[in-house]
Amino acid sequence: MLKKITVVGAGYVGEHVSQGLMLNELAEEVYLLDVVEDMPQGKGLDQRESAPVWGRDTKLIGTNDWADTAGSELVIHTAGRPRKPGMSRDDLLEANVAIVRPCMEQVAKQSPDALVMMVANPLDAMTYVAKNVTGFPRQRVFGMAGILDTARFRAFIAMETGVSVRDIQAMVLGGHGDTMVPLPRFTTIAGLPLEHWVSRDRIDAMVARAAKGGGEIVKLLKFGSAYYAPSAGVVEMAEAIAKNNHRILPCCAYLEGEYGHSGMYMGVPIMLGREGVLRIIEYPFNEDEQAMFDNSVHATKGLLSDVEKFL
């Protein structure tokens, strides 16, 4: 258990993250911070009042004041603006850099030893901004995306095969978006390869659905975006940190030569523990898989070059 975790942004994702942290008792104190006056205090109090029902002692506190977050061991940043009709990619990047940059300045000031987990989109670019602004080493700044993409892929496999999700092992890497890289060759059910259970054309259909999983949710909701699965992914990462159990999870991490690339964030398998990213695991890609990963890198580099204009 950690002493103190701060969740930045008390929207749908943030509030579900703070609730998940409390339910799993991952910290003695969880601070839910937002700029909207009184709103995080109300949500924090409501969640605090649910704790006796669940039998949990984690203290949930809502705040508008960064000073209350001082000394956090883990800061989870969920705050950001969704893309609206008429917004260009540059408009969205500029808007979210304007949110992330001052928040990360406060993190560096209030919690200079913290780990930083980014959740705001565009994820790979915003994680790059967080590292750039805080100046923290790469092992302490990372993002949640691959767990979400992998969870969606595993869910679709369970729907297709009827087996328990607990028996499905999978990994989705690459950038968070349409160029993500599902890896069916490394996907197994109870140790057997996926092709033992499902035909090639159905695998291709699930891969395509996973790549557009976020868009499918947005289309169905008509407004807003997913928050149950993203918040669950955040809590899984927070648990690996709080319990220091060295989980191997697909996360957004800074590359320094791994997979043939450097100077950028990408979704890769990492060993995650109390000190953050302990190690990046390199899968033995075949030619096609490396090409997909390189294509995802190329797309993400385009985002990063645009982000540089706003830093």
- State the greatest distance between any 2 C-alpha atoms of the chain, in Å, as a whole number: 55
Instruction: Out of 16, 176, 246, 298, pick the active-site residue.
Output: 176
Please state the rounded mean pLDDT for residues 174-187: 90
Record the pTM. Answer: 0.96
122 prior amide bond cis, ω within 30: yes
- The full set of domain ranges for the chain reads 2-143, 146-310
Does 176 qualify as catalytic in the annotation?
yes
Asked if the domains 2-143 and 146-310 are classified in one and the same CATH topology, the answer is no
Q: Is pLDDT above 90 for 115?
A: yes
DSSP track, 68-107: GGTT-SEEEE---PPP-TT--HHHHHHHHHHHHHHHHHHH
DSSP track, 178-241: TT-EE-GGG-EETTEEGGGTS-HHHHHHHHHHHHTHHHHHHHHHSSS---HHHHHHHHHHHHHH
Nearest to 99 by CA among 78, 122, 83, 80: 80
pLDDT higher at 134 or 94: 134
Given CATH 3.40.50.720, say whether it is the number of domain 146-310. no
Please state the rounded mean pLDDT for residues 190-198: 96
Q: What is the pLDDT of residue 88?
A: 64
| Percentage of the residues of the chain whose pLDDT score is greater than 70 | 97
Please, are residues 64 and 40 in contact by the beta-carbon 8 Å criterion? yes
* Architecture category of domain 2-143 in CATH: 3-Layer(aba) Sandwich (3.40)
